[in-house]
Chains A and B, each alone.
Chain A
Amino acid sequence: MLYRTAELEGTDRSSGYQYYYPDSESLRSRTSSHSHSRPLYPPGAQGEHSPGDEAGEGVKALRELPLCLAQKRILSKVSHMKIPVVTKWQSWKLSKSKSMKKFREEVKEASHYLKLWRRALQKIGGNFGSGIQSYFAFLRFLVLLNFVTFLLIGVFVVIPNIVFRTLNLTSLETGSNASGPAECLHYNPSPQGLVYFYSYLLDLLSGTGFMELSALFYGYYQNSEVGVSSQFSYNVPLAYLLTCLFYILLSLTWIVLRSGSGFKLAVVTGDGDLSSYSMSVFCGWDFGLEGEQAARLKQNSIRYELQVELEEDALRRNAASRTLAQRVYLYTLRGVLNLLVVGLILAAFYCIYRASEQSSILQEDPSVKDNFFLLLLVQYLPSIVITAANFLVPTLCDIIIRFERYSMTMQIKLTLMRSVFLRLTSLGVLLYSLWNQITCNGAPHESACRPCEYNYAQYPANSLPSCSQCWETRVGQEMYKLMIFDFITGVVVILLVEFPRRMLVDHCSCKPLQLWGRQEFVVPENVLGLVYAQTVVWTGAFFCPLLPLINTVKFILLFYFKKLTLFQNCRPASRTFRSSTSNFFFLLVLLMGLGLACVPLGYSVAVIHPSFGCGPFRSFSHMWDVVPQSLTSLPKTAQSFFNFLGSQAFAVPLFLLSCLVFSYMAAMASVYGNNVAQLKAQLKLEGRDKQFLVKRISELTPANQKKSAGPSGSVVDISETRELWE
């Protein structure tokens, strides 16, 4: 009991109330009595501590004290006055750590200016809140990612190839000469015969014709090792493959690092539902907001959110008291509606699959080829269908979900999951349909594909050879078209939907229009659009090396367009958007997109036979074969080392070791979880003990009631607690 009392006393004082009262002490008396307030600040700022962690940590602790500047200055003078006895080694270490800290701070300050669009993001956050700001920060991250990817590809693949072509450097053919059946070698995409003037526009929009044999697409690149000088030769196929591998690993690492802090937060706040009211109230206000209107809108949104949560609570209490019959009815209703949603999604997939098939059939149709607009429509048919599906199905799901009678948070999560599934899987369906066409439904030794093991001449053509002579370029073209169409749709929606909507709402005062109101900037939908666009780029970058560059430009333009529409046409969302856990969620979805993009890449590299007539891998039977082949040119020890790495003797122990590490981490996590639960229980117990003791004290010494409330917080608590008990 005695021990408990002493502990509680210590806890009370160190909760920091002694220095909290500006009325009770003047500045001078506070600074001179700092010796009395010894237990108040962490021991690092005091005199008696180990000399090793003196200056650096003392200063760090000072900054983190919630005191005013004058008091901190006094404390720092005191701590500097104490001259610790350190050895030469320790003082050298100290001075090094100090200069290192200074250097790091200077670097941070310099990089502060290098941050792209820093002021623009600040302005957006000030006017619309941190939720919408997080969308633009995500967009900025993607711009940087694409730009770095392009730098890698440019330096190792594009520029060397352009240089080699212009200099006409001799190539040392690696591997067998491009041998293969005669039909497969034929590849000449340049248009022959009469060329209409609009065909250039068509070529620009769909990547055919003059664009096809440019550096944009896979078909341009040479398949050989080019001798730059007498000793050094540049292996183009190997560079191509390894660059692709490297930028995928780089993207993966960057995303994982970026989501690391968000992941920790998401795990720590996992049971955030338990304190949702306190959190909305304590953390509700965004102090970065500026301007009367923004503040008023924020107040409206906070009020709306609080009212909705209170209402939901009431609904939940009602729901808990539902009868069995009502519950059965509700669950069957939900089951039926879910089936409806699944049916809608499957219908969308089927439409996309058919559209992709029909597009390639119709492209060869002579009546279509002569008509410019029809040809353009047919070329873009898969993109149009995907965009339409991604617009229609979520709208229908929104309507359906209202009948399912979930709580608001559940509704939002479910809508988001459905949208993510739809977006990523529709792209997957398109890729699957392309794969079917290229490999003749997965049977590369069937009649149509037999000579070349891929579909070299899809449909019996007339004079013009079809582009599928080079299937990699075909895939690259599809991704290029998807990207262009996505951008055009975005700009068209902004110009033709959002601006007119605002003008209508502002100038026409009829009731339904006012109820509809201005466009709301819905962050999750926009972020999913970005993830979709980035997945397209990742899928296509192997087949269309300049795609990251075009995408960088596209995202930069998108930033300015979205900023324009945000400030001109939009109102802030009525529902506040929790940015940080959602940031982690969006990075997770981006990782899923990366995973999806790796599947066709891996399959193409490892399984499908490269085109005989084009590209850097035309002499190999699989694209991956370039790696083992170039390994044979390395010295013996390096070869055996790499062979060992790829063998089972290395993979199996590595797998076992990872399992061990994983189970250790899981054990530690459960131990920490237990600790946390125990500490929480202990905290509650201490509170109850405190109340009990206070009651005993007030019972035993009634004279203490007369004492005026001093600076100590515990005396105030006594009188308050007494009121509660009596």
Chain B
Amino acid sequence: MGASASQISKELLSEYQELTFLTKQEILLAHRRFSELLSKNQDSLTTRVPQEKVLTLPELKSNPFRQRICHVFSTSEEKDDSLSFEDFLDLLSAFSDSATPEIKSHYAFRIFDFDDDGTLDRTDLEHLVNCLTGDTSETRLTPEEMTQLIHNILEESDIDKDGTVNLSEFQHVISRSPDFVSSFKIVL
């Protein structure tokens, strides 16, 4: 189940430490967990892991935003949402303990932007609320509740009144929430 023993060289390790918020232990642990997702004879540093395999990680398996997370952090040229090891490090860095609130809010915005158009409009917000409450017929909010909720959200956060929440408005709301940084955290 493990990949070939391609250990991370010291220079590469220190480069990763400089460019991400992860500590040395966290990078090595990430490398170990990433190698477990690969089969034998696959080089952990260059192979891309398909999305389905990434989603088997226990930290992501039951997260309603797991597909969006893979999509946002993937730099795959085939647009198949596969993750390389460096994408994986980017993911862990954004979700780490020491990441700045700006980084976290930026990536949170991209994760919540389901249609990738740069703003959170009504459909994005509906989709978001459905992910939060559970997307089955028993767990969704009623249409009246949903409309009222989205109306309230836009009233609170849409400062320039264009009907959508853009990145700065999103960051403005997040900056006033003390719990965001502690809840936007994934630790292996």
Residues of A within 8 A of B (CB): 15-17, 20-23, 26-27, 59, 62-64, 66, 68-70, 72-73, 76, 105, 108-109, 112, 122, 130, 262, 265-266, 268-269, 271-272, 274-279, 281-292, 294-296, 299-300, 302-303, 306-307, 310, 313, 578-581, 683-684, 686-688, 690-691, 713, 716-717, 720-721, 724
Q: Are B132 and A302 in contact (CB under 8 A)?
A: yes
- CA–CA, A303 and B89, complex, Å: 32
Residue of A nearest to B97 (CB): A112
Q: Within 8 Å CB of B118, what residues of A?
A: 17, 20, 713, 716
In the complex where A72-B19, A277-B153, A282-B108 touch, is A292 in contact with B103 (Cβ < 8 A)?
A: no
Q: Tell whether, in the assembled complex, residue B86 and residue A68 are in contact, meaning their CB atoms are under 8 Å apart.
A: yes
| CB of B95 within 8 Å of the partner chain | yes
- Given A68-B86, A122-B187, A307-B141, A15 and B58 touching (CB < 8 A)? no
Query: In the bound complex, do residue B21 and residue A70 qualify as a contact, i.e. CB atoms below 8 Å apart?
Result: no
Question: B176 → chain A, closest Cβ, in Å?
Answer: 5
Q: Which of A27, A69, A130 contacts B179 (CB 8 A)?
A: A130
Smallest Cβ-Cβ distance to A129: which chain B residue: B183
Within 8 Å of chain A (Cβ to Cβ): is B82? no
Q: A687 with B162: in contact, given A287-B95, A287-B185 (CB under 8 Å)? A: yes
Give complex CA distance A59, B187 in Å: 24
Q: Judging by beta carbons under 8 Å apart, are B156 and A63 in contact?
A: no
143-168 of chain B: CB within 8 A of chain A = 145, 148-149, 152-153, 156-157, 159-164, 166-168
Q: In the assembly, what is the distance between CA of A300 and CA of B133, in Å?
A: 6
Taking a contact as CB atoms under 8 Å apart, the answer to whether B128 and A281 are in contact is: yes
The CA of A720 and the CA of B77, in the complex, are separated in Å by 30
Are B149 and A310 within 8 A (Cβ)?
A: yes
Which chain A residues lie closer than 8 Å to B87 at the CB level? 68-69
Residues of B within 8 A of A20 (CB): 110, 118
Given A62-B18, A579-B179, are A688 and B160 also a contact pair (CB < 8 Å)? yes
Complex interface bits, B103-136 against A, C-beta within 8 A gives 1, otherwise 0: 1001110101000111100000100110111100
The residue in chain A whose Cβ has the minimal distance to the Cβ of B105 is A282
Question: In the bound complex, do residue B159 and residue A64 qualify as a contact, i.e. CB atoms below 8 Å apart?
Answer: no
In the complex, which residues of chain B have a beta carbon less than 8 angstroms from the beta carbon of A300? Answer: 134, 139
Q: Complex Cα distance A686/B172, Å?
A: 15
- Determine if B23 is an interface residue (Cβ-Cβ < 8 Å): yes
Decide if B20 is an interface residue (CB 8 Å cutoff): yes
Determine if B4 is an interface residue (Cβ-Cβ < 8 Å): no
Contact B133 A287 (CB under 8 A): no
Complex formed: what's the CA distance from A280 to B110 in Å? 18
> A69-B87, A275-B173 are known contacts. Are A285 and B64 too (CB-CB below 8 A)?
yes
Beyond contacts A112-B23, A283-B177, A310-B145: 4 other A-B pairs, Cβ-Cβ < 8 A, are A15-B168, A16-B167, A69-B87, A686-B160
Docked-complex contact A283 and B174, CB < 8 angstroms: yes
A-B contact pairs, 6 of them (CB 8 A): A68-B90, A130-B182, A282-B174, A288-B185, A306-B141, A578-B179
Q: Which residue of A69, A281, A686 contacts B125 across the interface (Cβ within 8 Å)?
A: A281
Q: Is the CB of A306 within 8 A of B149?
A: yes
What B residues does A291 contact at CB under 8 A?
58, 62
A269 with B20: CB separation less than 8 A: no
The number of residues on chain B lying at the interface, defined by a beta carbon within 8 Å of a beta carbon of chain A, is 80
Q: With a CB–CB cut-off of 8 A, which chain A residues contact B62? A: 289-292, 294-295
Q: How many A-B residue pairs have CB under 8 A?
A: 209
Task: Report which of A27, A70, A724 forms a contact with B162, defined as CB distance below 8 A.
Answer: A724
Instruction: Flag if B178 contacts A69 (CB, 8 Å).
Output: no
Across the interface, do B183 and A281 meet the contact criterion of CB distance under 8 Å?
A: no
Contact of A279 among B17, B18, B77, B176 (CB under 8 A): B176
Question: Could you tell me the distance in whole angstroms from the C-beta of B167 to the nearest C-beta in chain A?
Answer: 6
Cα–Cα, bound, A112→B23 (Å): 10
Query: Is the pair B103, A66 in contact by a Cβ cutoff of 8 Å?
Result: yes
Secondary structure type dominating chain B contacts: helix
Closest Cβ of chain B to A108, distance in Å, is 7
Closest chain B residue to A713 by CB distance?
B118
Asked if B183 and A27 sit within 8 Å, CB to CB, the answer is no
Q: List residues of chain B with CB within 8 A of the CB of A580.
A: 178-179, 182
Is residue B8 contacting chain A, with contact meaning CB distance below 8 A?
A: no
List residues of chain A with CB within 8 A of the CB of B23. 105, 108-109, 112
Residue B63 contacts which of A27, A66, A295 (CB distance < 8 angstroms)? A295
A59 CA to B17 CA, complexed, in Å: 10
Specify the chain A residue showing the minimal Cβ separation from B160.
A687
Chain A residues near B21 (CB-CB < 8 A) = 63
In Å, the complex CA distance between A64 and B100 comes to: 7
Q: What residues of A have a CB within 8 angstroms of the CB of B73 in the complex?
A: 68
Interface pair B153/A687, CB less than 8 Å apart: no
Partner of B160, one of A105, A108, A306, A691: A691
Q: Which chain B residue lies CB-closest to A26?
A: B77
CA–CA, A265 to B180, complex, Å?
Answer: 12
B107 touches A66 (CB 8 A): yes
Q: Which residues of A contact B89 (CB under 8 A)?
A: 69
* B1-23 with Cβ < 8 A to chain A: 15-21, 23
Which residues of chain B have C-beta atoms less than 8 A from A284's C-beta?
132, 183
The answer to whether A63 and B63 have CB atoms under 8 Å apart is no
Docked CA distance A284–B63 (Å):
13
Min CB distance, A541 to chain B, in Å? 33
A683 in complex: contacting residue of B18, B125, B156, B159, CB < 8 Å = B159
Contact across chains for A303 and B134 when beta carbons are under 8 A apart = yes
Is there an interface contact between A63 and B149, defined as CB atoms closer than 8 Å? no
Report yes or no: B132 in contact with A299, Cβ–Cβ below 8 A.
Answer: yes
Q: Which listed residue, A112, A278, A713, touches B156 by the CB 8 Å rule? A: A278
A296 adjacent to B134 (CB under 8 Å): yes
Q: Are B75 and A62 in contact (CB under 8 A)?
A: no
Cα separation A309 to B110 with both chains bound (whole Å):
27
- The answer for the CA separation of A716 and B153 in the assembled complex, in Å, is 22
Could you say which residues of chain A place their CB within 8 Å of the CB of B75?
Answer: 22, 27, 68, 70
Task: Tell me if B52 counts as interface (CB < 8 A to partner A).
Answer: no
Give chain A nearest CB distance to B155 CB in angstroms. 8
Distance to closest chain A CB from B31 (angstroms):
14
* Bound Cα distance A664, B112 (Å): 43
Q: Does B24 belong to the interface (CB within 8 Å)?
A: yes
